[in-house]
């Protein structure tokens, strides 16, 4: 009998820019303060890419961190690179191709755009490639330089976002490890509530084309609270588990109030939730892999733990997954 392949995460790495912008820093040039921001969002600091630091640089740094953790040989045999991002260096070539070139990988490469849930979407694609046998090792990265799209005069969005990247290696693992469920969804009707149009210069006349991030915070908050509840329950049920089986909840780091509401509805204690929004703000696609890396570094994840991942964002889109950590490479 042919053994069924199951994909899992076997290596991880992350990176955040050195420059830090605190709430007090923001208060020096906009009408806000630390209390106003932290009580509404839980955010206290965010990391900001340097002027010459872009999404590809962040992604490469996250993969370099993976190599520091597992050795340079960790990338041997990678045959696909996926970069989930909303802020690519260019429309083309893909940011993933830039990463592929930097590490001289003999691999296919493409970018994936699904807003903040993009990395979970990339994880689902990597899972499909591995479990179908199309690929053996997939590098799935979430990387964002969102602050380059921010209107720093818009208090409703400028306080929320930060830059960073998280990289994961996906390949076949032994039972009972690996990805147990994957829930993906979208509601294009809500696209008007959160968007950013193309940014750059026209090749025809050099005219600047700029439109910064726009968000209807009230509508996005209502959507997020609802979908965080429904999608996580679906993911747990699809995995054949219940809330008591979840070892650690790793949600998209957009807003502490949204995270707390989801935790309470799932009946999980605070110690079972990873929170990094205070340090990094909303890193969009990089949010979950960066939080995962912090949890690993903090000794909060061990082999055999059931992890619950969930994200939501523009589109409107959402994604949730349950995976069991560990397994042999």
Domain shared by 186 and 166, yes or no = no
Domain shared by 92 and 169, yes or no = yes
Domain shared by 199 and 270, yes or no = yes
Alpha-carbon span 327 to 307, nearest angstrom:
14
Domain shared by 248 and 279, yes or no = yes
Give the chain's domain count: 2
Domain shared by 277 and 315, yes or no = yes
User: Rounded to two decimals, what is the model's pTM?
Assistant: 0.95
Question: In tens digits, what is the pLDDT along the chain, a chain of 329 residues?
Answer: 456 789 999 999 999 999 999 999 999 999 999 999 999 999 999 999 999 999 999 999 999 999 999 999 999 999 999 999 999 999 999 999 999 999 999 999 999 999 999 999 999 999 999 999 999 999 999 999 999 999 998 988 999 999 999 999 999 999 999 999 999 999 999 999 998 876 555 455 565 555 689 899 999 999 999 999 999 999 999 999 999 999 999 999 999 999 999 999 999 999 999 999 999 999 999 999 999 999 999 999 999 999 999 999 999 999 999 999 997 54
Domain boundary among 147, 176, 205: 176
Domain shared by 159 and 213, yes or no = no
SS3 string, 169-199, reads EEEEECCCCEEEEEEEEECHHHHHHEECCCC
Domain boundary among 139, 159, 176: 176
Q: What is the pLDDT of residues 60-113, one digit of tens each?
A: 999 999 999 999 999 999 999 999 999 999 999 999 999 999 999 999 999 999
Domain shared by 168 and 199, yes or no = no
Alpha-carbon span 321 to 213, nearest angstrom:
27
Domain shared by 195 and 317, yes or no = yes
Domain shared by 215 and 131, yes or no = no
- Domain span at 231: 179-324
* In a domain? residue 1: no
Q: Evaluate whether 282 touches 3 at the Cβ level (below 8 Å).
A: no
- Known catalytic residues? 116, 252, 282
CATH number at residue 240: 3.40.47.10
Q: Report residue 6 as tokens.
A: 């199951």
Q: Which helix (H) or strand (E) holds 238?
A: helix 217-238
Domain shared by 140 and 185, yes or no = no
Alpha-carbon span 209 to 217, nearest angstrom:
24
Domain shared by 17 and 155, yes or no = yes
> What DSSP string runs through 9-44?
EEEEEEE--S-EEEHHHHTTTSS--HHHHHHHH---
Domain shared by 219 and 155, yes or no = no
């Amino acid at each position: 009998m042919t053994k069924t392949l199951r994909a899992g995460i076997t290596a991880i790495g992350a990176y955040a820019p050195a420059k830090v912008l605190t709430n007090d820093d923001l208060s020096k040039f906009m009408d806000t303060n630390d209390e106003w921001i932290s009580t509404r969002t839980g955010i206290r600091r965010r990391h900001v890419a340097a002027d010459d630091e872009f999404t590809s640089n962040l992604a490469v740094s996250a993969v370099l961190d993976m190599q520091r953790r597992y050795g340079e040989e960790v990338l041997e045999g990678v045959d696909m690179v996926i970069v989930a991002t909303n802020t690519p260096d260019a429309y083309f070539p893909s940011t993933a191709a830039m990463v592929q070139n930097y590490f001289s990988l003999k691999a296919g490469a493409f970018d994936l755009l699904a807003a903040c849930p993009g990395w979970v979407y990339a994880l689902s694609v990597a899972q499909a490639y591995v479990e179908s046998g199309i690929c053996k090792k997939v590098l799935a990265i979430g990387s964002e330089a969102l602050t380059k799209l921010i209107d720093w005069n818009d208090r409703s969005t400028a306080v929320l976002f930060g830059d960073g990247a998280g990289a994961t290696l996906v390949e076949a693992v032994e039972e009972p490890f690996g990805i147990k469920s994957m829930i993906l969804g979208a509601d294009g009707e809500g696209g008007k509530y959160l968007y950013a149009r193309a940014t750059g210069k026209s090749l025809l006349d050099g005219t600047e084309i700029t439109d910064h991030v726009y968000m209807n915070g009230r509508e996005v908050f209502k959507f997020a609270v609802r979908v965080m509840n429904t999608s996580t329950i679906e993911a747990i049920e699809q995995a054949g588990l219940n809330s008591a089986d979840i070892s650690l909840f790793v949600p998209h780091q957009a807003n502490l109030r949204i995270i707390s509401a989801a935790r309470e509805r799932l009946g999980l204690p605070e110690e079972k939730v990873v929170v990094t929004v205070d340090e990094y703000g909303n890193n969009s696609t990089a949010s979950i892999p960066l939080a995962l890396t912090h949890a690993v570094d903090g000794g909060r994840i061990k082999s055999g733990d059931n992890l619950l991942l969930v994200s939501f964002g523009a589109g409107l889109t959402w994604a949730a997954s349950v995976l069991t950590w560990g397994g042999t490479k």
